[in-house]
Amino acid sequence: MANTLLMPKATAVWLVDNTALSFEQIAQFCSLHPLEVKAIADGESAQGIKGMDPIMTGQLSREEIAKAEADPNHKLKLLDPKVRVPESKRKGPRYTPLSKRQDRPNAILWLVKNHPELKDAQISRLVGTTKSTIDQIRERKHWNSSSLVPMDPVTLGLCSQIDLDIEVQRASHGRQPAAPAGDTLLPASMTERLTPETEMPKDEDKELDANAVFAKLTALKSKDSEEDE
């Protein structure tokens, strides 16, 4: 979990009342505008807010405050938390903002078309939907099926590319790679053993017998002479 200041305005109230820090230093530490800090000091703002001691909460040390009071250019730094609270893991479908829910069916259609290996539970985790909705879109029984257009859920902001890659990797784990389709090249180990076939001579490449040709021409000439007589 990120190290952030708890109750920044209440902390600013305490620092204004109990230290000699400048408005700019308090504003920088509490992520406020210097005018907001000035309004607190003038009693124009945060009148109903009780100051919170950042030393008691372990977010600031007395030495750090004294150092900043002696040097107006020094920026206060948060102390590292002594106890780190682990981030809670999300359970169930991902929450989808209302403004993006209309894009969810398009994202489901994209996932069904481009990643058929994904299970319904994985699609539900990615875009925050239900199994019945996934089945309706997969079987083209959704009420708006005719208008749906496949759209990448990462582009739509419904999930991150990292989450999508993780789910695809999980779904593909243990699956055999798809067999290559169409003609493929033979491996080199096979082509090296092949020898070119002996070419058969073509008819036009055969050597012609000159005597046979002249004998045939002579016979034709004699036949023509007999017909003329």
Whether pLDDT at 185 is above 60: no
Single residue among 126, 152, 172 that ends a domain in this structure: 172
Per-residue pLDDT of 37-92, as tens digits, reads 999 998 888 777 888 899 988 889 999 999 999 999 999 998 886 655 455 455 55
Q: How confident is the model at residue 128 (pLDDT cuts 50, 70, 90)?
A: confident
Q: Are residues 102 and 167 in the same domain?
A: yes
Half-sphere exposure of 6 (CA within 13 A, CB side): 14
Q: How confident is the model at residue 205 (pLDDT cuts 50, 70, 90)?
A: very low
- pTM score, whole prediction: 0.39
Per-residue pLDDT of 206-219, as tens digits, reads 455 566 666 766 77
Decide if 131 is inside a domain.
Answer: yes
Provide the token pair at 144: 């708006």
Cα separation, 56 vs 6, whole angstroms: 12
DSSP secondary structure letter of residue 1: -
Decide if 32 is inside a domain.
Answer: yes
Decide if 206 is inside a domain.
Answer: no
Decide if 115 is inside a domain.
Answer: yes
Provide the token pair at 152: 């990448």
Provide the token pair at 11: 């902390």
Handedness of CA 211, 214, 216, 219 (dihedral sign): negative
> 218: part of which helix (H) or strand (E)?
helix 210-228
Single residue among 157, 172, 187 that ends a domain in this structure: 172
Q: Which domain holds residue 158?
A: 98-172
Decide if 33 is inside a domain.
Answer: yes
Q: Are residues 12 and 51 in the same domain?
A: yes
Whether pLDDT at 189 is above 80: no
Decide if 181 is inside a domain.
Answer: no
Q: Are residues 114 and 164 in the same domain?
A: yes
Q: Are residues 57 and 102 in the same domain?
A: no
Cα separation, 111 vs 158, whole angstroms: 12
Single residue among 124, 151, 172 that ends a domain in this structure: 172
Mean pLDDT highest for which of 33-37, 79-83, 180-184, 190-194?
33-37
Cα separation, 154 vs 114, whole angstroms: 13
Write down the pLDDT at residue 3: 67
Handedness of CA 213, 214, 219, 224 (dihedral sign): positive
Q: Are residues 110 and 148 in the same domain?
A: yes
Cα separation, 71 vs 65, whole angstroms: 10
Write down the pLDDT at residue 27: 92
Q: Are residues 147 and 103 in the same domain?
A: yes
What does the mean pLDDT of the chain come to?
77
How large is the average pLDDT for residues 161-171? 88
Furthest-apart CA atoms within the chain: distance in Å? 146
Q: How many domains does the chain have?
A: 2
Decide if 107 is inside a domain.
Answer: yes
Q: How confident is the model at residue 101 (pLDDT cuts 50, 70, 90)?
A: low
> 75: part of which helix (H) or strand (E)?
none
Decide if 86 is inside a domain.
Answer: no
Contacts of 39 (CB under 8 A, 6+ apart): 45, 46
Q: Are residues 160 and 104 in the same domain?
A: yes
